[in-house]
A and B are shown apart, each in its own frame.
Chain A
Amino acid sequence: MKRRGIFFWIGAIVFLVAIALMTKLIGNEYPFFAGYVILQFIVLAVAWSILGGHAGYVNFGTSAFFGMGVYTAVFLFKVAGAPLLVQIAAAAAVGALMGFLLGLLTLRMQGIFFSIATIALTIVIETSITNWRYVGGAAGIQLLRPPVTWPFSGYVQMLFFVQAALVVLAVAISRYIQNSWIGRGLQALRDDELAAECTGVPTLRLKVLACVISGALMCAAGAPAAMYLQYADPSSAFNLNYSVSVLAMSLIGGTAHWAGPIVGAILLGSTQQLLTVTISSEINVLVLGVMLVLFVVAAPEGLIGLLRRIRRKEGKS
Chain B
Amino acid sequence: MTPPDAPLLQISGLTKRFGGFTALDNVSVDIKPGERFGLIGPNGSGKTTLINCISGAFRTEARTVLFRGEDITQLPAHVRTRRGIARSFQIPRPFRSMTVVENLMVALDFAAAAGDFTSAAHRHETAMSILSGMGLASKADASATTLSQVELRKMELARAMATRPKLLISDEAMAGLSSSEVDEVLDLLMSLAEHDITVIMIEHIMQAVMRFSQRVMCLDAGKIIAIGAPNEVMANQRVQEAYLGT
| A residues whose Cβ falls under 8 Å from a Cβ of B | 181, 184-185, 187-188, 190-192, 194-204
Contacts and interface: CB of A to CB of B under 8 A. Distances in A.
Contacts of A199: 78, 81, 106-107, 110-111, 159-160, 163
Residue with the greatest number of chain A CB neighbours at <10 A, chosen from B94, B95, B97: B95
Nearest to B82: A200
B81 A187 contact: no
Contacts, number: 78
Given A184-B105, A184-B109, A198 B94 contact: no
Contact of A198 (B86, B97, B112): B86
B106 A185 contact: yes
Interface of B: 55-57, 76-79, 81-82, 86-87, 89, 93-98, 102, 105-107, 109-113, 159-160, 163
**Shortest 10 CB-CB distances between A and B: which pairs?**
A200-B111, A200-B110, A195-B93, A191-B95, A200-B81, A197-B77, A181-B109, A188-B106, A192-B93, A199-B107
A114 to B, nearest CB: 19
B95 A187 contact: yes
Contacts of A190: 97
Contacts of B110: 181, 185, 199-202
B76 A197 contact: yes
A209 to B, nearest CB: 14
B102 A184 contact: yes
Contact of B97 (A185, A191, A201, A202): A191
A201 B79 CA distance: 9
Contacts of A192: 93-96
B164 to A, nearest CB: 10
Given A187-B97, A200-B78, A202-B78, A194 B57 contact: yes
A194 B76 contact: no
A196 B56 contact: no
Contacts of A188: 95, 98, 106
A188 B76 CA distance: 17
B109 to A, nearest CB: 5
9 contacts: A181-B110, A197-B56, A198-B78, A198-B86, A199-B107, A199-B159, A200-B111, A202-B76, A202-B110
A190 B98 CA distance: 11
B126 to A, nearest CB: 14
B179 to A, nearest CB: 28
A181 B112 CA distance: 13
A168 to B, nearest CB: 26
A196 B95 contact: yes
Contact of A201 (B78, B87, B89, B98): B78
A247 to B, nearest CB: 20
Contacts of A184: 102, 105-106, 109
A196 B93 CA distance: 9
A185 B96 CA distance: 13
Nearest to A56: B97
A200 B97 contact: no
Contacts of B78: 197-203
Contacts of A194: 57, 77, 89, 93
Nearest to B83: A200
A198 B56 CA distance: 8
Given A187-B95, A187-B97, A190-B97, A196 B55 contact: no
A198 B106 CA distance: 11
Contacts of B107: 199-200
A203 B78 CA distance: 8
Nearest to B109: A181
Which one of A181, A195, A202 has the highest number of Cβ atoms from chain B below 10 Å of its Cβ? A195
A191 B93 CA distance: 9
B109 A191 contact: no
B163 A200 contact: yes
A287 B106 CA distance: 40
Contact of B87 (A196, A198, A203): A198
Nearest to B92: A195
Contacts of B57: 194, 197-198
A304 B92 CA distance: 29
Contacts of B95: 187-188, 191-192, 195-196
B212 to A, nearest CB: 22
Nearest to B110: A200
A110 to B, nearest CB: 14
Contacts of B112: 200
A44 to B, nearest CB: 24
Contacts of A204: 76
A14 B55 CA distance: 51
A202 B77 CA distance: 8
A191 B98 contact: yes
A191 B76 contact: no
A200 B159 CA distance: 11
Contacts of B94: 191-192, 195
Nearest to B159: A199
Nearest to A201: B110
Contacts of A198: 55-57, 77-78, 81, 86-87, 89
A188 to B, nearest CB: 5
